A and B are shown apart, each in its own frame.
Chain A
Amino acid sequence: MIKILAACGAGVNSSHQIKDAIETEFKNRGYNVKADAVMVKDITEDMVTHYDIFTPIAKTDLGFTLEIPVIDAGPILYRIPAMAQPVYDKIEAIIKEKGLK
């Protein structure tokens, strides 16, 4: 399973929308993807080791160096396919490049 970490300031709305959108899109693309939505302030170095890709709403300083790929997922929030597509394509490119399953 490919694990993606979505995050926003409150962990309530934006990150949940990103999570739902990514899981739906990648199911349609034939991948087994599980995304979790959390508050940025709750992210720890240890937590991140359990994920393959980090998808914040915007560039985010976590206070430590991330060892996993980061894709800014904010455009997904608009729910406009033309804006979301490039984000999904970047995620898929990482999945293919790293051979994630």
Chain B
Amino acid sequence: MSLLEKKELFVVKDTFVSDQKNKEDVFKEVFSKLSAEGLVKPEFLENLLLREKNFPTGIDLSVVDPDLPNVAIPHTEGKFVNVCQVIPIKCKNPITFYNMIEPQKKIEVSFLFMILNNDPEGQSNILAQIMDFLTTTSKNSLKAFFKADEDIVIFNFLNNNFS
């Protein structure tokens, strides 16, 4: 499998630190900017919300390390986005998501990797890259990363630590 180049996966101006208190408002805040930049289509937000409701994307990281915060990987169908990119979103407030592999369970999430993938049949597997980052980066580095609340710090860490 060939992987996407790091430089294509993250963009500093598309790295967010959000003060919102629920996922709907986080999604709206991020959609507003991504839409203005032409990265997503007008139907993106509605389909992102619907997809999250029916097929939640919260990932419980306590199985990796009990001290790591949980994350989510919100995304929707490729036809609603125009690029292959990951949008990092640090949430200053815990956001309630449902667990992707146990959808009846609520989890509190503090970081989102919003996946924009307009080439689902391509050779890149963005989710696999995210999971490898979360499970192979040193735990102490990850804990420090999840505490960061400056977009440039978040961007630099991801750019330097995604393999």
Q: Could you list which residues of chain A lie within 8 angstroms of chain B, going by C-beta atoms?
A: 8-14, 16-17, 20, 37, 39-40, 57-59, 72, 74-75, 77-80, 83
**CB pair B77 A10 closer than 8 Å:** yes
**CB pair B101 A12 closer than 8 Å:** no
**CB pair A80 B75 closer than 8 Å:** no
Any A CB within 8 A of the CB of B36 = no
Q: A75-B101, A78-B64 are in contact. Are A17 and B77 (CB under 8 A)?
A: no
**CB pair A16 B100 closer than 8 Å:** no
**A39 to B132 Cα, complex, angstroms:** 24
**CB pair B117 A13 closer than 8 Å:** yes
**CB pair B132 A77 closer than 8 Å:** no
Residues on A with C-beta less than 8 A from B63 are 78, 80, 83
Q: Could you list which residues of chain B lie within 8 angstroms of chain A, going by C-beta atoms?
A: 1, 51, 54-55, 59, 63-64, 73, 75-78, 100-103, 115, 117, 120, 125-128, 131-132, 135
Cβ-neighbour of B55 out of A9, A72, A83 (below 8 A): A9
Cβ-neighbour of B100 out of A14, A79, A80 (below 8 A): A14
**CB pair B125 A17 closer than 8 Å:** yes
Min C-beta distance of B38 to chain A, whole Å: 20
**A75 to B59 Cα, complex, angstroms:** 10
Residues on B with C-beta less than 8 A from A17 are 125, 127-128, 131
